[in-house]
Amino acid sequence: MEKRIVVGHRGEIGSAIFKIFKGTLGIEENIFLSTDGNEAKEADRTVMHVCIPYTDKFIDTVVDYVIEYAPDIIIIHTTCAIGTTRKLYAIFCDADMKIKRCTVVHASVNCRHPNTEADIRKYDMFVGALNEKEGNEACDYIERFGVITYLCDTPESSEFNKIAGTEYCKTMVKFFGTLKELADGDAKLNWKESIAYFENLMSKSDGWKRVYRRGNRIDTPISGKHCLNSNNRLWRKYITGEK
């Protein structure tokens, strides 16, 4: 028998994880939900999915749950500070702590409310582990439930990319918010046509990938004065009303 515990099963992420991985025990503070009728039943293997919000007490809280439930695999779905998974791993490997040796990985989820469950199923789940063997163990488990995985070199990579992803989303929300304000404030502009333009740009071209891959200065000896800079002057000129 395999016991699948979801810590934070009542949250937006936790409830989706509970459904996707067919949880047998959900924990929310001191409230328990068991779907197998006997949460205390002995299990051949226990997998713990951690979905609680990140706080300064996150590591201590997770350690408390690990001591109580002795999981074999811990999968941290929480968006957490970079280095958190490694710190937990060190604690679980410390013989003086007398904690059962276990696999611990970070596995970020990509989703947008209210389509959390469907999005988690749709996107690859990036898994960061301390070593390839344990990473593959976690990936094999996750893929049993129909979720495609991508194994990162380190947990820091998974943790970093998750935070970077939310920053990217924040930047896009701010940009399109500004775009709409400008379109609404100028009778000669049409917001729907702006959206049509960007939808066409994103759906018919892979040029945006070059933005990701570039990862350096816009102006280089090879590219010269890039149009991104020269066009930005036109953009700033319009925003400031300069003639």
Token output for 51: 């979905």
pLDDT, tens digit, 9 for 90 and up, residues 114-169: 889 999 999 999 999 999 999 999 999 999 999 999 999 999 999 999 999 999 89
8-state DSSP, 242: -
Among the three residues 154, 173, 196, which one is the final residue of a domain in this structure? 154
The count of structural domains within the chain is 2
Residues 201 and 125 in one domain: no
Residues 124 and 179 in one domain: no
Residues 203 and 94 in one domain: no
Task: Write the DSSP assignment of 93-147 as a string of letters.
Answer: T-GGGT----EEEEE-----TT-HHHHHHHS-EEEEESSHHHHHHHHHHHHTTT-
Residues 102 and 23 in one domain: yes
pLDDT at position 134 is: 95
pLDDT at position 140 is: 97
CA 14 to chain centre: 13
| pLDDT mean by block of 10 residues, the chain; 243 residues | 92 94 86 55 85 94 91 96 95 74 92 88 96 96 97 96 92 93 94 92 71 61 62 84 78
Helices (H), 185-207: 191-204
pTM of the model: 0.85
pLDDT at position 101 is: 79
Among the three residues 154, 182, 214, which one is the final residue of a domain in this structure? 154
Residues 129 and 176 in one domain: no
Range of the domain at 109: 2-154
Residues 111 and 8 in one domain: yes
CATH label of the domain that carries residue 20 = 3.40.50.720
Residues 63 and 141 in one domain: yes
